[in-house]
Structure formats: structure tokens, C-alpha cells
Amino acid sequence: MTAETPAVPRPEPAAGFGELRAGNLGVRIAAGSAEIDAVQALRYRIFYGEMGAAADAATAATARDRDRFDAIADHLLVIDHDLGAGAEGVVGTYRLIRREAAARLGRFYSADEYDIAPVLHFPGRILELGRSCVDASYRNRAVMQLLWRGIAAYVFHHRIDLMFGCASLPGTDPDALAPELTYLYENHLAPPALRPRALPERRVEMLRLDPTTIDPRRTLSQLPPLIKGYLRLGGFVGDGAVIDRQFNTTDVAIVVKTDLVTDKYYRHYERQLREALDERG
């Protein structure tokens, strides 16, 4: 640090964050029931309309993907302001559940598939990520980067230390996903102190091939973008996959310590503040 560049104090977390913009797109937390309904409609179109999830009668009748966790969650939205500034503009979403919110139901969503006791014993603040989806017309780098900016801001403001959740690979045939599952287990298995384990009655073995027979670079490139994003942040996977026949997916548990997320966000904040100070002379 030079004499001309004074240290910038780390800011105190705010209660929340305002909308972050990138051109006509913005990312923020949902406000009100209409926007949450738009989230549920978007999830239904993608999970049930595109990905082949199996809808029960109530889900089909409402054309909404909803469950009891929606009421306690914060819903991160990507808004296309060319479509509108509210519910009509929702084109992407991520569901965020903090420890204190999950306590209202007595559990996290991931507990349906995994023993998450190691995560629950983590002494810091934890956040469950889930139900991520983006409208087909907006699945591009800019929208994904905006979603990650929103998550980074949320993590920073709420002092989250650890993120976790279930991430999905398409389809329910683990043999067809053998290279990907083997690669994840062999190269990114979480340390024991943080390692979720698939519930015994739902567990599917991940180490399905001899690891020396797969091409790590090629296999990594075949992973869904969301999982690759977690891995770029130093994320780990749990022990065992789980078949989710309702959603037509094979799930893996993801655990990410937020150091890289918050450091990146802090550097962004620091740069903006320095530029503002420079402009003031």
C-alpha cells in the first residue's frame, strides 16, 4: 500500500443490497408475493416444461413449482427491465436460505437427500443455495455473471461463511453420468469435516469408473455450468449421488467456503470506492 493510496476500511454489512444493474438487466431480492409467484412460474416452465420433471396434480393445476421452503427463503431475481421492473421482468432466479430461516422449519431442503450434519456443525454462518434456473432466452455468460454478482453481494452483506446445496446433472441414469460422477469424487471430494453424505436409502455410488480411464479436462468441460462455477470457487462435493426422479436429475451435494466470493466482492467494492475518491480529487 503506497502513501498516496490509503487503506480502505472493510465496510460493515448492510441489512441487504439494492439492485445491481448491467444494461437492461438487474439482480436483486424478490419483493412481494407477485414476484415470488413469477419465480415459481419460471421454475415450473423450466423444471417441468423443459427438463421433464414429473408434476403432481396440484403442481400441474397451478403451473407453479412451489414448496414450503419458498416462504422462508430469499429469492434472488434477474430482471429484464425491457420487459418490466417487477414480476413481468423475471428471467432468472436462485433460492437462498440462511440458517436462521431454516430454523423456522427445523431443517434445510438438502436434508431430504443428504446427511448434512457436518455442515450444520460448521461454526460460521451458512447459506443453502437451490432452485436455480434461467429462462432459455437468457442463458448466456452475462446473466450467469449477474447471478453470481447477486450471490456475492448477498454473501458479503450477510457475512456468510459457507454455502451448500444440491446441484443437478441431467437424467437419472448414473451409468450414463459415470465419467462426471467419478471425476467429481476423485478430484473434488469435500474434506471429512465438511462432507455431506447421501442418505443410505438414496445413495448412489459416484466412483463408477477407474479414474485413470477418464480425461479430466474433457470431463470437466461436460459438467453443467453451475457445477463448474462452484468448482471455480474452490467448491467440493459430498459423498454419494442421489437420483431425483421427480425432477429427472442426478444430484450431488456441493459445499463452498465463501472466502473467494467475499474477497472478489470486497476487491470490487474497494475499486469502486477508490475511483470515487479519485473523482473527488
What digits encode the pLDDT tens for the residues 33-89? 999 999 999 999 999 999 999 999 999 999 999 999 999 999 999 999 999 999 999
Give the residue, 213 or 11, on which the prediction is more confident.
Answer: 213
156: pLDDT confidence band, cut at 50, 70 and 90?
Answer: confident
> How many whole angstroms separate alpha carbon 205 and alpha carbon 215?
20
Please tell me the predicted confidence (pLDDT) of residue 208. 98
Question: Whole-number mean pLDDT of the chain?
Answer: 90
Provide the 3-class DSSP secondary structure of residue 38: helix
Please tell me the predicted confidence (pLDDT) of residue 277. 46
Task: Assess whether pLDDT exceeds 60 at residue 165.
Answer: yes
Please tell me the predicted confidence (pLDDT) of residue 281. 47
Please tell me the predicted confidence (pLDDT) of residue 3. 35
Average pLDDT over residues 247-268: 84
User: How many CB atoms within 10 Å of residue 67?
Assistant: 12
CB 137 within 8 A of CB 108: no
CA-wise closest residue to 114 among 244, 249, 241, 247: 241
> Percent of the chain, pLDDT > 90?
81
- What are the C-alpha distances in Å from 88 to residues 70, 103, 232, 271, 281? 19, 32, 32, 34, 42
Please tell me the predicted confidence (pLDDT) of residue 260. 74
Provide the 3-class DSSP secondary structure of residue 115: strand
CA-wise closest residue to 206 among 256, 240, 244, 164: 240
Please tell me the predicted confidence (pLDDT) of residue 268. 62
Please tell me the predicted confidence (pLDDT) of residue 275. 55
Supply the CATH classification number for the domain 20-279: 3.40.630.30
Question: How confident is the model over 195-241, as pLDDT tens digits?
Answer: 999 999 999 999 999 999 999 999 999 999 999 999 998 999 999 99
Give the residue, 98 or 6, on which the prediction is more confident.
Answer: 98
How is the chain split into domains, by residue range? 20-279
Question: How confident is the model over 104-137, as pLDDT tens digits?
Answer: 999 999 999 999 999 999 999 999 999 999 999 9
Please tell me the predicted confidence (pLDDT) of residue 212. 97
Angle (CA) 222 224 226, round 5°: 140
Question: Where is 218: in which H helix or E strand?
Answer: helix 216-222
Task: Assess whether pLDDT exceeds 50 at residue 139.
Answer: yes
